[in-house]
Amino acid sequence: MTQTRTAPQDDPAKVAEFEARIAAGQSIEPKDWMPERYRRQLIRMMSQHAHSEIVGMLPEGNWITRAPSLRRKISLIAKVQDEAGHGLYIYCGTETLGVDRAELIQQLLDGTAKYSSIFNYPTLSWADIGVIGWFVDGAAIVNQTVLAKASYGPYARAMIRICKEENFHKRQGYEIVATLANGTSAQKAMVQDAVNRWWWPSLMMFGPSDANSPNTAELIKWKVKRRTNDELRQRFVNLTVPQAAAVNLTLPDPDLAYDTESENWSFGRIDWDEFNQVLRGNGPCNRERLAARRKAHDDGAWVREAASAYAAKQRAKQASEAA
């Protein structure tokens, strides 16, 4: 882990005052003074999070037309729509740090910004939609419940609402999984296959191991992160193992074993080479996801132009009425 890097322009007395506020558990708000490095770290993490929500709509959106019943279709549309909303709250939160949303979106479209590795895997069957709700939203809840206590007020408050919605998402996913697991042998095989494919990428969502996480020490020090990547990954494993057993599905890890001393489920080695490949843009769907976002952005240009023209017209009208 790297040492805390303080930008040269930061006044040490102000940094000390800021860190005393953090230590006292106070929330940092947009107009409060903050070290430049804190601001940059938040922009990095929050914008990556917002991008993840937006790109995360794609694997599931792929199944809206093929959901097996009207009820499933309604919940999936609502879920995907919620994810757009989460992206918007977090982009708004990021803008409170003085950065323009258009700039952040451009970084995503240019391929210079990261988004969660998990969304670079394909959704091959309907069971994948259940398993995404169970694993991916389950992992997001573990991560974001803790972020709801982050030191930066706008981010923490966005997480409270988002976590409430993620709980519905997880339930709809687990319900699909439980239904398929209790279904025909073909349905059970389909859901087991989805579990096998999504388990390891879901563990990678929590980020590199603590020993290889350059940002964790600084973010923990400033109480943006309240738990390390490995701590949250372990919590997710501990919660998920009994959920898999309850629906008679197996997790694809022969090394899973309960350790009575630590009361944790120990698990096998994560394939970090695969993780790093996905981060470098070489996952199964990286190119497809970016191409889809670029197309959506281009197709939506007329909406942005119309909205700007309408806003300009309203401003002109208000100005002429005030004159």
Residues forming contacts to ligand FAQ in the complex (CB under 6 A) are 44-45, 48-49, 52-53, 56, 83, 114, 116-117, 132, 136-137, 140, 143, 204-208, 213-216, 219, 229, 279
Rounded to whole angstroms, the Cα distance separating 24 from 221 reads 12
Least separation in angstroms between CB 323 and ligand FAQ: 47
Angle between helices 36-55 and 101-110 (to 10 degrees): 60
Residue 179: CB minimum distance to ligand FAQ, A: 19
How far apart are CB 195 and ligand FAQ at their closest, in Å?
A: 16
Residue 28 CB, nearest approach to ligand FAQ (Å): 17
Nearest distance from residue 101's CB to ligand FAQ, in Å?
Answer: 17
Nearer to ligand FAQ among residue 152 and residue 265 (C-beta): 152
CA 192 – CA 186 distance, rounded (Å):
10
Of 46 and 307, CB closest to ligand FAQ: 46
Strands 264-266 and 257-259: antiparallel
Cα torsion 221, 167, 174, 206 to 10°: value is -10
Residues 6+ apart with CB under 8 A from 195: 131, 135, 177, 244, 249, 250, 251, 252
Q: Please give the Cα distance from 52 to 276 (Å, whole number).
A: 17
Radius of gyration of the chain (CA): 21
| 148/188 with CB nearer ligand FAQ | 148
Q: Which H or E run includes 286?
A: helix 286-299
Q: Which residue's C-beta sits nearest to ligand FAQ?
A: 56
Task: State the Cα–Cα distance between residues 184 and 203, nearest whole angstrom.
Answer: 29
Identity of the residue numbered 173: G
Euclidean distance between CA atoms 25 and 27, whole angstroms: 7
Find the shortest distance in angstroms from Cβ 311 to ligand FAQ.
30
Q: Is the dihedral of CA 261, 267, 269, 272 positive or negative?
A: negative
Q: CB nearer to ligand FAQ: give 192 or 202.
A: 202
Q: Which is nearer to ligand FAQ, 14 or 287 (CB)?
A: 287
In whole angstroms, how close is the CB of 117 to ligand FAQ at the nearest point? 3
Please choose, from the candidates 133, 160, 134, the residue with its C-alpha nearest in 3D space to the C-alpha of residue 146: 160
Closest to ligand FAQ by CB, 132 vs 244, is 132
Question: Could you give the count of Cα atoms lying within 13 Å of 29 in the half-sphere of its Cβ?
Answer: 2
Whichever of 56 and 192 has its CB closer to ligand FAQ, that residue is 56
